[in-house]
Amino acid sequence: MGKQTFPSPIGEVAWANVVEPKQNMFNATDYNWDIALVFPDHVAQKVIEKVMEEVDAAVKSNMITEADVAKPTFKLPYQPSLKKDENGNKVPNEGHTTIKFKRKTKVLNRRTNEYDAKEPATFFDATPTKIAPVDLGFGSKVKVFFRPYCYNKGSQGIALSLEAIQIQELVQKANGFEIESLEGGYVAEQAADDALLAALND
């Protein structure tokens, strides 16, 4: 149960921490790589079907119960998508679902009872050729390979383990701001010298 890896449809990146892992806000020593993809509802259903198959298998194996799944606290890796309106407010993105995939940076070795470090997800370009991990900006289009698994320690739910990423369309990750030139402002000495030389050579 939970050992098979599946390909997702191609989705649009909402956010991604796939090169540098992100700290768990509830546990300062826990870090994960993660990515959220947006799909049209009917496309997302292909992933959700795999989620529910894994949930059914976990119920049949008595790992969790149907009552557990029915609880509002049972965690699922998908939710209705949101987008920002012209005022920057988050509003429903009608007809779309956001699905989260994550990869732990360490995993408990049950034989040694110690944690073993894990590598980031494997990256491929469209050909597919294996490539180095790439920062994925908002709007990048990718396919991911994932492994669903249920858990019942601490909390109960199902997660999608991120195994690999194939990039169809790369959007560079923005630094969050743009700098424009200021008319009549300070110019570094070297730049000023270059400008003067250019003027003299005209």
**Domain containing 183 — which CATH number?**
2.40.50.140
The pTM (predicted TM-score) of the whole model is 0.82
32 in a domain, yes or no?
yes
Region for 154 from its dihedrals, namely left if φ exceeds 0, alpha if ψ lies in -120 to 50, beta otherwise: left
15: Cβ contacts below 8 Å, ≥ 6 apart: 35, 36, 138
20 in a domain, yes or no?
yes
Question: In the prediction, which pLDDT does 158 show?
Answer: 98
Question: In the prediction, which pLDDT does 3 show?
Answer: 76
68 near 156, Cβ under 8 Å?
yes
Other beta carbons within 10 Å of 139: 14
1 in a domain, yes or no?
no
Q: What range does the domain containing 190 cover?
A: 6-201
Question: In the prediction, which pLDDT does 26 show?
Answer: 75
Three-class SS string for the chain? CCCCCEECCCEEEEEEEEEEEEEECCEEEEEEEEEEEEEEHHHHHHHHHHHHHHHHHHHHCCCCCHHHHHCCCCECCEEEEEEECCCCCEEEEEEEEEEEEEEECEEEECCCCEEEECCCCEEECCCCCEECCCCCCCCCEEEEEEEEEEECCCCCEEEEEEEEEEEEECCCCCCCCCCCCCCCCCCCHHHHHHHHHHHHHC
87 in a domain, yes or no?
yes
Tens place of pLDDT for every residue, the chain, 202 residues? 447 999 999 999 999 999 999 988 777 778 999 999 999 999 999 999 999 999 999 999 999 999 999 999 999 999 999 999 999 899 999 999 999 999 999 887 778 888 888 999 999 999 999 999 999 999 999 999 999 999 998 899 999 999 999 999 999 877 654 455 566 655 555 544 555 555 555 5
Q: Which two tokens stand for residue 7?
A: 């390909």
33 in a domain, yes or no?
yes
Tally of domains within the chain: 1
44, 100, 201 from 37: Cα distances, Å: 9, 6, 54
105 in a domain, yes or no?
yes
197 in a domain, yes or no?
yes
Q: What span, in angstroms and rounded, lies between the C-alpha atoms of 147 and 162?
A: 7
